Structure 1
């Protein structure tokens, strides 16, 4: 696939950009242009470009040049497969450039008057926050960036340097919009950037504090990783050969805090929701979707399932997830205006069952030490305080512990910022709930001391751990 080959694309098989790409200006710099960004935010900008050519995207990768090498020969084009009852295909043309921090290209984009927006999808661990949600100055990437800012190792260092360049050049302020699954994500990012910039230049930190806006946002669309079978099916369906197509479910949502800087794109024109109540949307999504997803992943793996849709065919497991969502999560949520929590829960369960999406449980299981506090443990804390049940939530956390234990026994690597430490804990376990749970509860980055020391929580965790062990062995059924 490249620009020339699109002229021969069959419009009955694949939609191509509805605009002249040669007129597109780069108004967005995106940090972390992985699968989710290219399936979600890039799709919104691609549709906006049909009426407004200012919103091309420069994608910047911090850790890898793989994407740049894959789509540069394709003129930064790629196919998005939208997985519904009938799969649809669209070529996305919004990416004007893909580079790495080793290139100087990102500096040039920060210095461009056309730039109005920086967006991010770097996952929870990419923010280098400590257990108190403030910037971890001991993190190796942060420490390296404080010493040498010529080639940033962290997203925080990259943002601070880019904003420093823009400030020194006397250019207009921009908006910095995080799109990761963190509660109050914009505020946490702002505080991290301010803390870092204050450590290098207090005048810069003051300028950022006064003029740079960091709205909160919530994004939602299930995006499985691309594999060879998807590459082959996309090529067969579209007639276009390419290196890295992307897939997602048909459902997509983008909720943005209505507090943006000058020149912000009119994303409401292509379906984004602008609101002053992102928190309620965010909490409903993080807890009902992501919390259920994590529980389904760890418990599903314990029961031998491989994908979300496959796990949802297990009637007992699906029923347990539904009960947890209804009795333990939705019961403690405040519904934002226009969102019916019961209808949202039912819609989520339908999305989980979508047979067109092979979303691997092992992919969802990544980075559990960063995800569980947000997705499950915050809800457990609130439920214990309010006297609401926590059995399903505790089972999800215990299933993560058992996932680590099985990985240690099998010699399997896990993807997690605390991987080495967790594997050591898993190896030291003896399959006795009291001692195994106690080992995991000592991980302060996951379990706040105020929760880990609660007898009611410890008791339910020991019960849940024994329950998951019995499910693994087949001694008990859900």
Structure 2
């Protein structure tokens, strides 16, 4: 059955469908980055909320700026903006059709996107544009010299980036006398609302300092912690959707059943009542986001590169590998958890145990290669803060140094078996050159200040990094993991 509005009533039994009249929905949110995570998280929460009869004036209008967004839009348009969402656990799977998005503006039409943001019904602009999309330097500050930012600052009425478009939308809105929308970041970045504010106001300041001040004073940027493991869609997922659930969906979403969203309640223009579907509204999201980024995202980075070097394909297979599993457990418990401060009503050790179970879910089909992607942006956010914290309190960093050395060894471009690793980072060529040079000079890698800042100069981290990197080249990944974990 090809997915569309016309076929909703003919879907196979056991497949859920929107529990509301989609014709009754009206837009309230414009979202940049209509990818799998957004559809499994923000859109899924809204779909459940609409099914309760609440918040139906908060439907989503999608928007994109990347080249691949045109294809994504075409696929979703052909199925009336509907998506199949498959939640998978080891012992059960469920499927349902979600329909919280009611339009998707063409990526090539920046003028239309800006004009839509200026309409008074859009009260929230949300983003999932990946951790690397915020134009930050090595110290996680806005980079005013980035060519894309310079280009948007030179032509603010013809923006090319998400942030340039948002600024133009705010200018149009102010000129029309409409209150500003709230900007809600849903990316895995510490203090993601504050980071979004810094990038937006930093860009505005390059061309109009007074307008930058207005944005800083009047626009709300609530911080959020978001969590749901959601792998990329491949032919595997499309085939499962067709063969198991009987639905032809060009872009289904497969994810785990676990989901979490913690959000600061700062929405001057109003918000949907998401607390009705499990969203936690708190005065300060910091402890929640720190716990998740250090333990979950950091844990992904810990297992990614040893598994990649050992030619492991799926994440659950990495968790079944005794050396990779033992490596994760030792680094988390001895070096990461001690730096995670208390979280309200949360047992951090129990949270780690939950994370380990989620990583081991065999149904998800999450790939090691996805975890290895974009390390030059993810390592500074997910691993190196734990290093800095451990050094600050005088704790051990042997395991974290090994995790970083494994990333370096991976970026050299071959696994332990000699298999070629296809480029897996926007800066792959530079990383490969640095990783090869680091075989004889570890500072060729640690000297990347945009990644390591000054950490690469600290001998307490640099010395074990160099020792582990040499051992990885001379002994191999399995032998090094066995030595570190004490597992033969």
Task: Give the alignment's TM-score, normalised by structure 1.
Answer: 0.94
Residue 94 (structure 1) aligned with residue 100 (structure 2): yes
Cα RMSD between the aligned structures? 1.8
**For residue 37 of structure 1, what is the aligned residue in structure 2?**
38
Task: Measure how far apart 1:423 and its partner are.
Answer: 2.2
What secondary structure does 1:57 align onto?
Answer: strand
Residue 154 (structure 1) aligned with residue 158 (structure 2): no
Distance change >3 Å, CA 439–CA 259, structure 1 → 2? same
Conservation of the 8 A alpha-carbon contact between 2:144 and 2:202: no
Residue 415 (structure 1) aligned with residue 420 (structure 2): no
Q: What is the distance in 1 between the residues matched to 2:481 and 2:139?
A: 38
**For residue 460 of structure 2, what is the aligned residue in structure 1?**
456
- 1:226-262 deviation line (CA, Å, top 9, x unaligned): 1112101112233221210011111000111122222
Q: What is the distance in 1 between the residues matched to 2:316 and 2:177?
A: 52
**For residue 469 of structure 2, what is the aligned residue in structure 1?**
465
Conservation of the 8 A alpha-carbon contact between 2:182 and 2:219: yes
Q: Match for 1:327 among 308, 315, 334?
A: 334
Q: Match for 1:6 among 5, 8, 15?
A: 8
Task: Measure how far apart 1:41 and its partner are.
Answer: 0.8
**For residue 428 of structure 1, what is the aligned residue in structure 2?**
437
Task: Measure how far apart 1:304 and its partner are.
Answer: 2.2
Q: What is the distance in 1 between the residues matched to 2:414 and 2:105?
A: 35
**For residue 255 of structure 1, what is the aligned residue in structure 2?**
262
Q: What is the distance in 2 between the residues matched to 1:112 and 1:25?
A: 13
Distance change >3 Å, CA 143–CA 418, structure 1 → 2? same
Distance change >3 Å, CA 58–CA 471, structure 1 → 2? farther
**For residue 343 of structure 1, what is the aligned residue in structure 2?**
350
Task: Measure how far apart 1:143 and its partner are.
Answer: 1.9
Conservation of the 8 A alpha-carbon contact between 2:153 and 2:204: no
Residue 139 (structure 1) aligned with residue 146 (structure 2): yes
Conservation of the 8 A alpha-carbon contact between 2:308 and 2:372: no
**For residue 222 of structure 2, what is the aligned residue in structure 1?**
215
Conservation of the 8 A alpha-carbon contact between 2:412 and 2:433: no
Q: What is the distance in 1 between the residues matched to 2:340 and 2:34?
A: 32
Q: What is the distance in 1 between the residues matched to 2:413 and 2:265?
A: 45
**For residue 352 of structure 1, what is the aligned residue in structure 2?**
359
Q: What is the distance in 1 between the residues matched to 2:192 and 2:480?
A: 40
**For residue 241 of structure 1, what is the aligned residue in structure 2?**
248
Task: Measure how far apart 1:413 and its partner are.
Answer: 4.0
**For residue 403 of structure 2, what is the aligned residue in structure 1?**
396
Distance change >3 Å, CA 25–CA 405, structure 1 → 2? same
**For residue 66 of structure 1, what is the aligned residue in structure 2?**
71
Residue 297 (structure 1) aligned with residue 304 (structure 2): yes
Q: What is the distance in 2 between the residues matched to 1:101 and 1:470?
A: 49
**For residue 440 of structure 1, what is the aligned residue in structure 2?**
445
**Runs of at least 5 residues in structure 2 that lack an aligned partner in the other structure:** 483-488
Residue 198 (structure 1) aligned with residue 200 (structure 2): no
Task: Give the alignment's TM-score, normalised by structure 2.
Answer: 0.93
- 1:45-80 deviation line (CA, Å, top 9, x unaligned): 111122221111111111131210111111111101
Conservation of the 8 A alpha-carbon contact between 1:302 and 1:472: no
Q: What is the distance in 2 between the residues matched to 1:279 and 1:477?
A: 33
Q: What is the distance in 2 between the residues matched to 1:275 and 1:82?
A: 27
Conservation of the 8 A alpha-carbon contact between 2:44 and 2:98: yes
Q: What is the distance in 2 between the residues matched to 1:471 and 1:345?
A: 30
What secondary structure does 2:31 align onto?
Answer: strand
Conservation of the 8 A alpha-carbon contact between 1:167 and 1:204: no
Residue 185 (structure 1) aligned with residue 195 (structure 2): no
Number of aligned residues: 472
Conservation of the 8 A alpha-carbon contact between 1:126 and 1:154: no
- 1:415-439 deviation line (CA, Å, top 9, x unaligned): 323223212223434x34xx1x211
Q: What is the distance in 2 between the residues matched to 1:180 and 1:229?
A: 26
Task: Measure how far apart 1:410 and its partner are.
Answer: 6.6
Q: What is the distance in 2 between the residues matched to 1:230 and 1:8?
A: 21
**Runs of at least 5 residues in structure 1 that lack an aligned partner in the other structure:** none
Distance change >3 Å, CA 396–CA 74, structure 1 → 2? same
Moved more, 108-117 or 277-286: 108-117
What secondary structure does 1:406 align onto?
Answer: coil
